[in-house]
Structure formats: C-alpha cells, structure tokens
Chain A
Amino acid sequence: PDHLRFIRSYVSLQNARCYSVKHLSVQERIEKKRKAALTGGGQLRIAAQHKRGKLTARERLELLLDPDSFVECDMFVEHRCSDFGMEADHNKYPGDSVVTGQGRINGRLVYVFSQDFTVFGGSLSGAHAQKVCKIMDQAMMVGAPVIGLNDSGGARIQEGVESLAGYADIFLRNVMASGVVPQISLIMGPCAGGAVYSPALTDFTFMVKDTSYLFITGPDVVKSVTNEDVTQEELGGAKTHTTVSGVAHRAFENDVDALLNLRDFFNFLPLSNKDPAPVTECHDPRDRPVPGLDTIVPFESTKAYDMLDIVHGIVDEREFFEIMPNYAKNIVVGFARMNGRTVGIVGNQPKVASGCLDINSSVKGARFVRFCDAFNIPIITFVDVPGFLPGTAQEYGGIIRHGAKLLYAFAEATIPKITVITRKAYGGAYDVMSSKHLRGDVNYAWPSAEVAVMGAKGAVQIIFRGKENQAEAEAEYVEKFANPFPAAVRGFVDDIIQPSTTRKRICRDLEVLASKKQTNPWKKHANIPL
C-alpha cells in the first residue's frame, strides 16, 4: 500500500507538471524535461516493465555500456502527432519512445538506441525513427558499430504513414550501413510487423528467452488467416528463431545475461570495415601443442566426433563465441581469437548429420563468411564434409541455389583464409569449403584427411562396375584415394601436418597473412545467388 501511495502521489505530481510548465523559467523547464525524460513512461509503467522481468530502456544501456560513458542525444525530441488527442501535453514525453546516443564498451566506441516500452509501448513514431536515423548516420560517418535494443509494440498507429516512413528510413540506413559498420540487434521485447525487418537487415540478431518475440503477424492474425492455433512463444519466441527459422543468432536467459554477453561479443568485432579486428592480450602460448588432437579423429571414417573439441583445443583460452549454436548444427560458425587476434571459425560438424552441407547450413555458413570478409576477420575453416545432403526435400528446396551461396562467399572473400582438412573432403563440398582453388591462402591436411570425389563404396561401384571382387576394388580405392596424398602431390594442400601442431601453424600463418592484400575486380556490386 505504501508503494502504491507513492506511485499515486507521483502520478498526480506529473499531471501537475504539465499545467505549471509554462510558468517556469527556461532553466527550470530544462531540468523538468530532463527529469521527465529519465523516467520515461512513469513509475507505474516502469514497475510493470520490471514485473514482466524486463529492464527499462535506460537500465539496459547502463548495463551495456561502460560506467558513465553514455552520451545521450535528442533527449528533448517529442512526437509531432496532433490527431486523436496526441497533441495534449500529458501525451508528450521528452525523448519519446526511444533513448539514443553513443557510449563505450570496454573503452571502444559504439552507437546505441534503446526502445522504451514504457512510452506508448515503445511504438515507432516519426520522431522515434528520426532519432534512430540520426545516430546511425553518425555511426557510419565516424566508423563505429550500431547496437539496437528492440522492445516495441510496432508502428505508432496514431501517426499512420509517418510511422511507416520512419521504418523505411531506418531500413535504408541499415542497408547503407551494412558492410560499413557492424550492426547488432538485441530483441528484448515484442518486435512485430514491419519492425522485424530492421533486425533482419543487421548483421546479428540476438534474443532474450521467454520475453522477446519476432513475427510478421501475431497469433490472432495467423488464426484468422490460416486457422492455425499457435502461441506467441511458438510462433516467434527465442527458441523458434534460434532453432527452427534461423532468424536469430543466439538467445540468452534474461536481460542481464543478454547485455553482458553482448559486451563480450562486442570485443570480437572491429569498429568498421576500415578497422582491423581487435587484438587482446593473450595468455595462451601461440605455439602451444594440443596433444589431444592427435587422437580426436576416430579410426572408422563413419564414426563421429565433436568438431567443437577441435575448435576449443586450438583457439585462445578455449574461448569460442558460437553463432547460431542450435540451428543447422551440421556446420559450426563463430568467433574466437588466435594469439589475441579475432578470427572467424567455420567447421563441418561430423556429430550432426555427418557434417554434410544442406540448405540451412550453407546459408548459415555463407552469411557468416561474408560478415568476416566485410570486416577483415580472417577465417579458419575445418573441413570434414561427406558432401551435400541428397534427397527431394533438398533439391526441391533449392540446395543448388543455396549451396552456391557458401561457395560464392568463400570464393569472393579476400581476407586471410586458412583451411584444415581433418578428415573427409568429398566431392563438390570439398571445393566449397575454402579450398585452395577458391583462393585459400594456406590449406592443410591432417594425416586422417581423405580428399576424393566420393566415399570408397560409391566410387568403386562406378569405376569397377560389374567387377566381381568389389571388396578388393574398394581396398584399392581406399589405398589410393582415402588419404591426403592425392591432394598433396598436386599442391592442393600446402602441407600435411601433425594435428597437435595445428595451433602453432595457424598462429604463424596469421602473422604472415596480416599484411595480405587482395582485391576483386571493380563491379557495382556482385550478384550472389539469393
């Protein structure tokens, strides 16, 4: 009851403010507005936000950025809507439904916007969009990443087309900034309708479990159009988007967890496409042998192992920030460091679907490779791929067009590319996976590598069709092709290395390749098979 009384008295105080404002001096009005901006939609709505397990827009920024580093912009901006009684003083909130500005994460510059659900449900007004566009323009000019914290009910319906224009203005900037500065979206509440396309255009979309949703249309509309019964969580919750749709790149437990993880993630990224990937102090010896790798690949080539064991063993301090860990698990992508330097890791995962390439894994890999290439992050590729997944589902789904994306991405990339073939590199998938032929800078094979057009059984059935002793033929094929030599004698791999020395070799290569310069022919833009 005490608590409520406090809120009641506060509310009446707020109402009082609106009427008395014009009698105050400018100085006092500035103070008042600032104070009002800081409380957003007021204590009642803040309490409601907290009750939902969500932090306020400002709390989120405080947590995301280094202490006292946030510099706010447009605190006095108000919406310009004059319909439906929106022009009334009590319907105007200084700053409107978004907090924008810049700050630092571990001392490195970042532009941020944080939608304020306590003000008109975080809905997007013309003013809201204009604030977001302003910081995006500056971020591109300065060369610093943009992080958006999304928590918005959608368009400001009262504003009509102005709100839609606002979305488009943001989309345009998302596209213009793409490949110039890293853009990250963290969905921390609802994000529905047209609003979803801004996160979709950014480089990375993260979600908060249980409290965030992304969908084009909500469950009610779905029910009326397709007669499907589906909950918000099933339709567009974190689980759906990180496991089924592949829209989101990762999900975190709650607001605090998500923001702190985002800080960690930020450390991997360069500030812009002109900035080299950051280097951290490294305690992990660059020439550390990894004895466990000598035995990781099982003897039977049909037996699985965990590619993550290789990745963890090789990278600095076993720290690997995996992107899309629960989607298309037959390919592993993510960020790590080698001797303190950020690298992108791509690896086939033999543990899932034998590590084959299919539609989803190709698209997942391709997008990641293109991000790394755009932002000067070297790529290390671990290959154990039996080929592309066969079947009508894949062919009808367009595996040809989607598989081409990964091929395209590796081929056009001009950043340092190091490839390690750990076991199988069969067929077209061998070509795709950052092969020497696609301008791989350093390509290694482990002694367990098998570079061939296909596995022994299939090959023998074709080469020795009708021959009686298939087993003998198979043995001959294995002897000839199921080893790294056919590739090594042709120079398609640069060396056959002891697995335990892989870290040392890669660290040394990265140092050499740091000054790599390679350009593609001039073009307006390339035409990746979308």
Chain B
Amino acid sequence: MAAYRSAAGFQRVLHAVKHVCFSKQRCGVIICRYSTVYDPNEKTFDKILIANRGEIACRVIKTCKKMGIKTVAVHSDVDSSAVHVKVADEAVCVGPAPTSKSYLNMDAIMNAIKQTGAQAVHPGYGFLSENKEFAKRLAAEGVTFIGPDTHAIQAMGDKIESKLIAKAAKVNTIPGFDGVVKDAKEAVKIAGEIGYPVMIKASAGGGGKGMRIAWNDEETSDMGFFLSGHISDICANGFCWCLQVLADKHGNALWLNERECSIQRRNQKVVEEAPSTFLDPDTRRAMGEQAVSLANAVKYSSAGTVEFLVDSKKNFYFLEMNTRLQVEHPITECITGLDLVQQMIRIAKGYKLQHKQSDIPINGWAVESRVYAEDPYKSFGLPSIGRLSQYQEPLDLPNVRVDSGIQEGSDISIYYDPMISKLVTYGKTREEALKKMEDALDNYVIRGVTHNIPLLREIIVHPRFVSGVISTKFLPEVYPDGFKGHMLTAGERRELLATAAALYVAVEIDGEKVEVSGEWNLASALLPITINGKHRTLQVCKHACFKLRVLSKLAASLSKHMPEKVPEDTSSILRSPMPGSVVAVSVKPGDNVAEGQEICVIEAMKMQNSMTAAKTAKVKSVHCKAGDTVGEGDLLVELE
C-alpha cells in the first residue's frame, strides 16, 4: 500500500481569512486578574438563580463559583444542552423556545426559584433585568434581586422621567422635546422645531432597540407610525460614552471610568474600549461626578451605567441610565481590576462598598469586539443562523478574554440574540491592546455561521479608528457604500497567493521568489506561517473573504477558454436576505411598484427589515404572506 499525499492535485480551493503579524513578545500578564479579593469568610448567598442565558449567564456563574455560591440556570427547551446549563449546579426548564414563553416567563421563573430554593436572582442584561414587575414579585417572595430597587428601575426606565430627574440633579441634558408624541403629524412638527437630524426613541425601549434617527420629515413620519417616542436633538457626529457607576444601599457611590461605545451599527454597539482616547481627566471627573449625583438622586444601588452623548467640543449630555450590568462591562473590569458581578452580589447582600473613589485606577487599555453571527456585508450585519461546526476561541494568546456561552456544536437560532461572544483584549497601551485584538481575531475559528470578524478586524486597523477619531457615524462614514470586505494591498495579495501556492509547491510570483515556511497542518483550522520573514496567521475555509484557486500553469492557461457564467438577474427577484419571519407584505400580484418602494417586512432577531423593489415594475407573483417563516435566500416576490 503506497502512501501518497495528493500534493500535485491543484484543485483544493483556498479561502483565506485576513492575516496578521504575531506579536513576538508574549508578556506574562494574565488578563483581568481581578484585584478584587474573594473573601471566603464573608457571608453571602447560598444559591443564586441566573434568569438569563448565553454568555452573561456563564459570566455570572463564573463569579458565583469563585465566591462559593451554588448556581441555578434556567433555560428554554431548545437550550437544554446549552453551555450555561452545563456549567450551573442545577438547571430548570422554564418553557419553549420563544423568549416570551421562557426567559420572560415570570411565573415559570418564580416557580424555578421556589423549586430550587435560590435566595437571590441575577438577571444579567436584557430579558427581565430592567423589569420592575419582576423585581416587585421577587421582593414579595423575599428573594433578593441583584440589581437596583424597583424605584430606580422605574424612574430610569422611563426616558422622560429619567430626563427630568437628571435635570433636577444638575446633570447636563440634551435640548429637545420631553414627552410622548401622539402621531406622525405631531412628530414631524416637533422635529421641524428642533431641527434635523433628530432621534426618535421608544419611551420604554432598552439599549439601541427602538431608537431611530430621522433626517427629514418623510423619515420622521414613516417612523411615527410604529414609534411613539420622544424626539431630541442628536449630536450628529457624536460620541457615545458610558460611565460605569457602583452604588451600595448605604448611600455610597463610585464611578468606574468611562467606556467609549461609539462604534455602532443600527445604534447597537460593535466595538468598545476603555478608557476613551478623547476624554481628558477633568471632563472624566465632571462626567463621573454627574453620574454619581444622578445615582444618588434615584437612591441607586448595584452596578449601573450612565450614557452620555458627547459633541465634538466635549460638551456632554445625559442620554439615559441603564439599571443593569451592561454587555461591555468586561473592559471596565480589565482596567479597574474589579469584578463587577461580585460587587453586585455583595451590594445586594447589603455590604458597603469596599473601595473609595481614589482606589479606582485606570490600568492600561482594554478593547472589546462583539463577535456576532451576522453577515457584515449586508447593512454592516444582518443576523445569520446555523450550527457552529467548528469553534475555537483564541484563548492560548496572552491578555485575551472571551466571554461566550456557546461551544462547538451549538446552534445559533432565530430565537435569541445572535451574539457569539465578547472578545476582550488588554494591553499596557491602546496600541498594544489593538494589536492583541488583531491577533485574537485572526486566531478565532468560527465555522458554520456567517460572522462579523472581517468587519471587526477592518475597524480596529482602520487609520481613523487607530488615531482615535471615532464617532457614532464611523461605519456609514468610512464605508458609505456598505462594508465590502478587506481590500487587499498588492503586497497582501502576493502573500496570500504565495501561501496558497506554497501549500502545494514552492512559490515564485511574477518571476520573484517568495519564501513561505511554517509548520502547517491541513487538518487544523489555523495556518501559522512565515512569509518573507513576516509572521502571519491564516485560516483556510469555505465561505471566507478571499477566494483563491491554486491552478497549475497549464490549467490556468486553459482556463481562458472556459465560458463565463452569467449570474442570475436578481433585480426582478426579491429573496430574503436572512432567516426570519414575514411581518407584512404590502404588494399583491399585478401591482405596480416603484424602485425603492417597500414590498415586505422581514423580522429576524427582534429586528425589522424593510425589503424594497430594486426596479420599477409590475409584481408578477408573491411567494410569502405575513406570518410565514422564511430562510435565507428564499424567494419572496417576483417582479416582471
């Protein structure tokens, strides 16, 4: 039996993910070694139930374990083999997949608490974290809610009330209309008075959800139909900063510095860092003190975040207060050394803060990238679903923290947030942290779902981002025509070609020899190589950014005779860009539609997407109706 390697087969199609230098000095600092002490003698809860799923549930469980607290996970039936269920000491199924029937099902969660005897509940973020009803029911049962009390949740949860309280606490607020808009007509009128652009926000919406920007009357009136919110003047090219505060039940409050959260798509954060490049110590202190005075004004206890919009003149305005642990809290933990979850648990147990304001450091720099299962080439990220056929976190790199709640084999389903993980890197300087982020992204192996790593990687090496000139409009300004993927430089292209070819044979490009070496292995997902003395990490996979074909000279020369295949004319076909459900169909066969006219609305992962006609034509056939579930690429409507 002769053993041979099919090395002369030139067929393997290589698709390589963007490459990068390895930093040579691997410093020995372990990221996020909390300086917090876990005192085993300090009495705390025996058992905590985590009313959440995914990475945040895992994150909370981690700290509970350190504190010696038993944990209870709740889960929907599709999540029964999820990571958060496996790592918890106990798990209770609280209902079927839709969140309204499981993670938002208060009755089932109250039952789970009774059944397991949990003394406290950590709500994570989202779901019931800012639900005053839930907090009330817990209080009635004598179960501690790890978070602020109902009064603070209520006051800060209402966009209008919170603004009034902030004003009273002498916190800078944005000029604008503080009230509920009745209808589209009124919205247009008020918007006209304030001046465009304006931001419209659902009065009780959380995070970026339900927040829209309108640039003219038409857009305002469009939104007015489904949003009755309040309008305020947005700082068109503003920054978004979040001040972390920590307050106990004894009237002590601290601010733990800011998080720069300006890189957003559709008003949801993508890349965050702490501290901010733009903020000077005086402004920081001023903001911190206002944040603390707001916390005091609502008798806040637990961890919370005060969001400010900042204009280019460093004037800052209170936007809202989030009465929960925020998604991006790890970067604050990295630079302060505090374990925020531990602090929340201590505060909930009634302890006083251990730290004084002067104890709070800014050590180094931390960057967080939110790795999502979404297609970055469509509006900077439309959700995608699938099964993680291969999954490898870059944890062997130093100073990298990955908060995730999934593993190889996990399903990213349409029911929940498509976040795969939060990738955090840390360095003594911003430059170091960003460099590490580059490494970490390159060494992150995700297969089976479309993910946004190509976009994240482009952002963190973009000269404008590197220079620190960031704003909430970064993405649309840098990529006015949408994200098209990394444009290879001539040098990078050569390197990529050389590597691909070197997987088979030695390489010469345009008569020049290129040295490629490295210990690669066709079975591994990562391909660490040295090319002309430079270190690069490549990934070989299907569906990657750069499609490469390695052909012999002969095959390449004969390829010129091959017919060019004409791709299907898609202007008359409307396909679903993502899996989701059809909310509304606004045309029927025979209708005439104008280019850009809305044809139907698809909702996926709590996000509504309006599908428009690519040309002016008559509708030939409609293949979907409201309520249908559609997959990516499914035919929705045909035009003539």
A and B together in one complex: yes
| A interface list, Cβ under 8 A from B | 50, 52-55, 59, 62-63, 66-67, 106-108, 210-211, 253-257, 260-261, 263-264, 267, 276, 278-285, 288, 291-296, 299, 305-306, 309, 312-313, 316-317, 340
Q: Which of A63, A106, A293, A299 contacts B6, CB < 8 Å?
A: A106
Q: Name the CB-closest residue of A to B389.
A: A309
A-B residue pairs in contact (CB < 8 Å), sample of 20: A50-B561, A52-B563, A53-B561, A55-B561, A63-B555, A67-B552, A106-B6, A107-B4, A210-B563, A253-B565, A256-B559, A260-B555, A278-B4, A279-B1, A281-B3, A284-B523, A292-B388, A309-B387, A309-B448, A317-B523
Cα distance A291–B390 in the bound complex, in angstroms: 9
CB pair B387–A306 under 8 Å, yes or no, is yes
A106 touches B563 (CB 8 A): no
Q: Considering the complex, give the chain A residue whose CB is closest to the CB of B8.
A: A106
A-contacting 9-mer, from B52-60, B122-130, B406-414? B406-414
Are the CB atoms of A260 and B10 closer together than 8 Å? yes
Known contacts A255-B562, A256-B555, A260-B11: A280-B5 contact under CB 8 Å: yes
The 8 Å CB contact of B523, one of A255, A278, A285, A312, is: A285
- Whether B9 and A264, one on each chain, are in contact in the complex, defined by CB atoms closer than 8 angstroms, is yes
Bound state CA distance, A276 and B2, in angstroms? 10
User: Are B563 and A55 in touch, CB under 8 angstroms?
Assistant: no
Shortest Cβ gap from B565 to chain A (Å): 7
Task: Report how far A472 CA is from B389 CA in the complex, Å.
Answer: 38
Besides A62-B554, A313-B389, 14 new A-B residue pairs in contact (Cβ under 8 A), listed by A number:
A63-B554, A66-B8, A107-B4, A107-B8, A256-B559, A260-B551, A263-B11, A276-B1, A282-B523, A284-B522, A292-B408, A296-B387, A296-B409, A317-B523
| In contact, B388 and A210 (Cβ under 8 angstroms) | no
| CB atoms of A256 and B562 under 8 A apart | yes
Interface residues of B in 523-572 (CB under 8 A from A): 523-524, 551-552, 554-555, 558-559, 561-563, 565
Nearest 10 pairs between A and B by C-beta? A292-B409, A53-B563, A284-B523, A260-B11, A283-B523, A254-B562, A295-B409, A292-B408, A50-B561, A283-B521
Q: Report chain B residues within 8 Å CB of A316.
A: 523
Chain B, interface size category, equals 35 or more
Let me know if B81 is at the binding interface, CB within 8 A.
Answer: yes
Kindly state the separation between the CA atoms of A108 and B558 in the bound complex, as whole angstroms: 24
A313 surroundings in chain B (CB, below 8 A): 389
Shortest B5–chain A CB gap in Å is 5
Contact residues of B between 553 and 601, Cβ < 8 Å to A: 554-555, 558-559, 561-563, 565
Q: How far is the CA of A513 from the CA of B10 in the complex (A)?
A: 33
Answer whether residue B77 sits at the interface, using C-beta atoms and an 8 A cutoff. Answer: yes
Task: Compute how far the CA of A263 lies from the CA of B504 in the bound complex, rounded to whole angstroms.
Answer: 15
Nearest CB in chain B to that of A267: its residue? B6
**A211–B563 contact, CB under 8 A?**
yes
Chain B residue nearest to A294 in the complex (CB): B409
* Bound CA–CA A296/B389 (angstroms): 10
Contact of B558 among A256, A278, A280, A306 (CB under 8 A): A256
Q: Which residues of B contact A256 (CB under 8 A)?
A: 551, 555, 558-559, 562
B389 near A292 with CB under 8 A, answer yes
A299 pairs with B80, CB closer than 8 A = yes
The interface centre, meaning the residue of B2, B388, B563 with most chain A CB atoms within 10 A of its CB, is B563
Query: Is there contact, CB below 8 Å, between B3 and A279?
Result: yes
- In the complex, what's the smallest C-beta–C-beta distance from A295 to chain B, in angstroms? 4
List A contacts of B80 (CB < 8 A): 299
Q: Which residues of B contact A276 (CB under 8 A)?
A: 1
Per the bound structure, the CA–CA distance linking A393 and B448 in Å amounts to 37
* Interface hub of A263, A264, A284, A292 (most chain B Cβ within 10 A): A292
Interchain nearest-CB distance for A372 vs B (Å)? 17
CB distance from A515 to the nearest CB of B (A): 13
Partner of A299, one of B77, B551, B565: B77
Query: Which residue of the partner chain, among A54, A108, A264, contacts B11 with CB atoms under 8 Å?
Result: A264
- When A59-B558, A260-B555, A283-B521 are in contact, do A293 and B563 touch as well, CB less than 8 Å? no
Rounded to whole angstroms, the CA-CA distance of A107 and B2 in the bound complex is 10
Q: How far is the CA of A67 from the CA of B11 in the complex (A)?
A: 15
User: Do B11 and A210 touch across chains, with their CB atoms under 8 A apart?
Assistant: no
CB distance from A502 to the nearest CB of B (A): 13
User: Which residues of A lie under 8 Å from residue B3 when comparing CB positions?
Assistant: 279-281, 340
Residues from chain A with a CB closer than 8 A to the CB of B387 are 292, 296, 305-306, 309
Chain B residues lying within 8 Å of A54, measured Cβ to Cβ, are: 561
**Does B11 lie within 8 Å of A261, measured CB to CB?**
yes
For B553, give the chain A residue with the smallest CB separation.
A67
Which residues of B lie under 8 Å from residue A267 when comparing CB positions? 6, 9
Give Cα A299–Cα B522 distance, bound, in whole angstroms: 34
- The reply to whether A312 and B389 form a contact with Cβ atoms under 8 Å apart is yes
Q: B80: nearest residue on chain A (CB-CB)?
A: A299
Give chain B nearest CB distance to A63 CB in angstroms. Answer: 6
Check B522 against A317 for contact (C-beta < 8 Å).
yes
Question: Once bound together, how far apart are the Cα atoms of A340 and B5, in whole Å?
Answer: 9
* Neighbouring B residues of A312 by C-beta, 8 Å: 389
CA distance in complex: A269, B582 (Å): 48
**Docked complex Cα distance between A54 and B410 (Å):** 45
A317 CA to B6 CA in the complex, in Å?
A: 13
Q: How far is the CB of B539 from chain A (nearest CB, A)?
A: 13
Contact A293 B2 (CB under 8 A): no
Inter-chain contacts of B8 with A (CB < 8 A): 66, 106-107
Q: How far is the CA of A285 from the CA of B411 in the complex (A)?
A: 26
Give the docked Cα–Cα distance between A306 and B523 (Å).
22
- CB contact list, B11-34 vs A, under 8 A: 11
B590-634 residues with Cβ-Cβ distance < 8 A to A are: none
